[in-house]
Amino acid sequence: MNCLNSFISAILLIALLTACDDNSRLSLNQRSVIYCSEGSPDTFNPQLVTSGTTIDATSKQLYNKLIAYQGDENNLVPALAKSWHVTRDGKKVTFYLRKNVSFHQTDYFTPTRHFNADDVLFSFNRIIDHEHPFHLTSGGHYPFFQNIEFDSLIKKIEKINDYTIRFHLTRADNNFLANLATDFAVILSAQYAEKLNKNQQKQNIDIHPIGTGPFKLKEYRVGSLIRFYHHKAYWQGSAKIEQLVFDITSSNTGRLTKLLAKECDISSYPIAHNKITQRSDLTLESVTALNVGYFGFNTTQAPFNNILVRQAMAFAINKQVLLDTVYQGQAELAKSILPETSWAYDKTSKEQAFNLDKAKTLLAQAGYPDGFTMDLWAMPVQRPYNPNAITMAKLIQADLKKININVDIVSYEWNTFLHRLAQGEHQSFLLGWSADHPDPDNFFTPMLSCAASHIGSNRTFWCNQDYDDIIHKALETNNIEQRKQLYTQANAILNKELPLIPIAHSKRYQARGNNIVGKTMGPFGGISFYQVKKSPLTIAVKDETVQNKTKTKKVN
């Protein structure tokens, strides 16, 4: 009898422990969101890249900026700076910093002070000062800031006191504040940098991040997942979820499968829109994005250094077929690099005609009556500006075959693709640009300026001094009509020179379970999970979703 009682007691104890474990699992799941991401970040510091995949995983999760954009009108609002003042000549900008802002406390760093002016000095001097001890860490490339020639714009950065900092500019620049509100202008911890420097671990500043943002990094499994925990001491109040997991799934079909199986709560760049909208438990959402997808040429390589060849190819491509097949009606045909929603858009811009006879004539005039063979690099991941680059490449391949141009389609893993593009190893490529802020200069300068061609973010390597002079003038005047006229002139040069062929301006999509509440996407920049939460009706998702991954690289 005693044995029977002992057995029954043991069974009850196991049942109780199992119930507690299930409740704990449900509770953890209730406080967590799993986001199916399309790719791995190539760094945890957004100052070092322009990749949207990296920006999504880092900028708004881990960091803050001095100022930020807010609302449908994209107004500049305070962030780490509670206010700012610009002198009448536009050459001095003073920021008054917020007090009592905490940096992340992690397994690898415990801060002993709050954010102050030293952190602003460190974050920007690292970028502009080539002698700075951290400038060359991780390669010394700061593509966004080099694109806009930030180092030549900043004369010096002056610390007035612990909570006041002043930027002295060499010239007035209408985009200065806009650029400081982008996802690249994040603030790092100077105290953390000092510790790393002493320990000869400087590279960790970009690998094991410390910021002031709503989440802190807990774990990174390469090519598999990123695990964030909420920053309890976040100055705007703790996030609504305690854990955020980026489940890295590069396959479009794989992300869809996980979404349907409830293995992820939100999915990036979803396919099968009709299937998703037919599900009562899922929502397909979209935003009209400031972007452009394009077909670009390496203008330093023959035959694409010949303007007639580029013009011939523009006439040979049926852009409407690309739009219908690849975007499936979810984009607008691009007549210029600027979308029609931009205040600087030129309404007189004409659609590029599809004319094979004209293409053949121009090709013969260029010295290629029998055509040639070329490479076309197609990116391997889905992006809002191009949801299926491989399919687009095949359609372009078929179009160009009609004028005796044979196309070999090339693709690489995403980070390798971007690196080799920046090195100029390609002949032509399919890529795009998503704006970092609403000012039109964010299309003209980073994509096609001479400065951008020198550092590799202008993958056409096209450099035109007249074009550069025009876009510089546009930044120096406050007159909107004059700026608009200047951008129209710049666009006319692009229409003639054709370093790239604009294809489409598309929407950005996300799919999510109906139990996920809160806005993540905006018309430009990365995504934010700060306001996201789960409703009480959620069903527990097995933790194996994020536990049964391989290739572990823990942050410790």
| 126-158 pLDDT per residue, tens | 999 999 999 999 999 999 999 888 999 999 999
The pair of structure tokens assigned to 234 is: 């976040």
pLDDT at residue 128, rounded to an integer: 97
> What SS3 string covers 426-469?
CCEEEEEEECCCCCCHHHHHHHHCHHHHHHCCCCCCCCCHHHHH
Tell me the per-residue pLDDT of 56-99, one tens digit each, with 9 for 90 and over. 999 999 999 999 988 766 789 999 999 999 999 999 999 999 99
Domain 32-47+213-281+514-556 part of CATH 1.10.20.10? no
* Residue 400 neighbours by CB distance under 10 Å: 22
**Can you tell me the mean pLDDT for 410-424?**
89
Distance of CA 243 to the CA centre of its chain: 22
Tell me the per-residue pLDDT of 290-303, one tens digit each, with 9 for 90 and over. 899 999 999 999 99
Domain 64-209 part of CATH 3.90.76.10? yes
Q: Which of 191-205, 283-297, 534-548 shows the lowest per-residue confidence on average (mean pLDDT)?
A: 534-548
Establish whether the linkage from the previous residue to 502 is cis, with ω within 30° of 0: no
DSSP string computed for 170-215: SS--TTHHHHHTSTT-----HHHHHHHHHTT-GGGGTTS---SSSE
The pair of structure tokens assigned to 305 is: 């250094």
CA separation, residue 4 to residues 1, 18, 186, 503 (Å): 5, 21, 65, 76
Question: Among 128, 139, 151, which Cα is nearest to 45's?
Answer: 139
pLDDT, mean over the chain: 89
Superfamily of domain 291-507: Dipeptide-binding Protein; Domain 3 (3.10.105.10)
Question: Among 120, 410, 421, 123, which Cα is nearest to 300's?
Answer: 421
pLDDT at residue 456, rounded to an integer: 66
* Its pTM surpasses 0.85: no
What residues does CATH 3.90.76.10 cover in the chain? 64-209
DSSP 164: E
Is it the case that residue 29 has pLDDT exceeding 80? no
Tell me the per-residue pLDDT of 477-533, one tens digit each, with 9 for 90 and over. 878 889 999 999 999 999 999 999 999 999 889 999 999 999 999 888 899 999 999
Q: Which are the contacts of 550, defined by CB distance < 8 A and separation ≥ 6?
A: 221, 224
What residues does CATH 3.40.190.10 cover in the chain? 32-47+213-281+514-556
